[in-house]
């Protein structure tokens, strides 16, 4: 599946670091190559087939494990559509 997109803040170093971490983990753990796109200021969102599955909540960023779980949970649901 190559339909995973991570939208990130183009200027936030913490968000940029988390995107690198998540992207590397997705490749290693799930064999996924996420497309990375610049988003709005402060944004961290993960989309599967253009549908948001997890995003930043306030000041906290989702962990790698939370992102992987959101993707795993989204795929069976989206396949039914």
| Segment 52-67, tens digit of pLDDT | 999 998 889 999 999 9
End-to-end CA gap in the chain: 16
Helix 13-25, helix 64-79: angle, nearest 10: 60
Can you give the pLDDT at residue 39? 96
Mean of pLDDT over the chain: 91
Distance (Å, whole) CA 79 – CA 55: 21
Q: What are the tens digits of pLDDT across the range 25-42? A: 999 999 999 999 999 999
Q: Is the pLDDT of residue 77 over 90?
A: no
**pLDDT bucket at 80, cuts 50 / 70 / 90:** low
Q: Domain boundaries in the chain? A: 4-79
| pLDDT at residue 8, rounded to an integer | 97
pTM of this prediction exceeds 0.85: yes
Architecture of domain 4-79: 3-Layer(aba) Sandwich (3.40)
């Amino acid at each position: 599946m190559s339909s995973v997109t991570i939208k990130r803040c183009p200027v936030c170093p913490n968000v940029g670091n988390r995107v690198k971490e998540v992207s590397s983990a997705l490749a290693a753990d799930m064999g996924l190559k996420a497309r990375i796109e610049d988003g709005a200021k402060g944004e961290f969102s993960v989309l599967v087939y253009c549908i948001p599955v997890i995003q930043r909540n306030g000041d906290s960023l989702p962990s790698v494990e939370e992102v992987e779980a959101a993707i795993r949970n989204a795929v069976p649901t989206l396949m039914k559509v």
